[in-house]
Amino acid sequence: MKIRLTPELSYIIGLWAHCKTEKGIGIRGDNETISNFAKSCLDLGIAVPGKLLYGENEIFFYNSAVKKFFEKIFNERTERFKYGNDYSSAYLAGLFDSWGSVEKGRIVIKNLDVFDKNLLDNLRMFPRDMGRFTVIGKDRAFLKFISPYVKRNKGILESAKI
């Protein structure tokens, strides 16, 4: 199976980026995030029903071709997602769904690394470090940019008074 990058796969890679499991291809998180990951992987056909494995607050599956593809895209993300298109929008929506929230009226994403901060900066979202949190400087632009792909935090986006 030849795997091609799509916005939907970009979203899953964003979910997976900073909450990977040690085993297979999977994520750690709450029930809603785990359910979202499972549904997205099944819908795209990169995971097979009955082959998803659950642990305590985690879900994963084994597929060496998919894992190699995810790692390649993740390692190339500053180049792959540098333009303001559906791919970068979906990737950032995945990051936001896994680690993002609205706190004190500001959009924040936890645990971003320097590559993702540079990506946000290149897309003119002006991230600022606040300890473990990254505050998004251009809240409205960021929300508009990721809104087509956000799944888990859709309610947060709608209720945000930004």
DSSP state of 111: S
* Distance in angstroms (rounded) separating the CA atoms of residues 59 and 25: 8
Tens digit of each residue's pLDDT (9 = 90 or more) over 61-115: 999 999 999 999 999 999 999 999 999 999 999 999 999 988 888 899 998 999 9
Residue 63: both structure tokens together: 């597929």
Terminal alpha carbon distance of the chain:
43
Q: Which residue has the tokens 């997602």?
A: 81
pLDDT band at residue 152 under the 50/70/90 scheme: confident
Average pLDDT, the chain: 92
Phi and psi angles of residue 161, each rounded to the nearest 5 degrees, phi first: -100, 70
CA 153 remoteness from chain centre? 11
The per-residue pLDDT for 39 is 95
Q: What whole-number percentage of the chain has pLDDT above 70?
A: 94
In the three-class reduction of DSSP (H, G, I as helix; E, B as strand; rest coil), residue 11 is classed as helix
Query: Domain map of the chain by residue range?
Result: 7-78, 83-152
Tens digit of each residue's pLDDT (9 = 90 or more) over 118-133: 999 999 999 999 988 9
For the beta sheet containing 53-55, the strands, ordered from the edge strand earlier in sequence to the opposite edge, are 25-28, 58-61, 53-55
DSSP state of 27: E
Better pLDDT: 82 or 2: 82
Whether the predicted model's global pTM rises above the 0.85 cut: yes
The domain defined by 83-152 carries CATH number 3.40.50.450: no
Are 109 and 96 in contact by the 8 Å Cβ rule? The answer is yes
The per-residue pLDDT for 20 is 95
Are 34 and 15 in contact by the 8 Å Cβ rule? The answer is no
Q: What amino acid occupies position 46? A: I
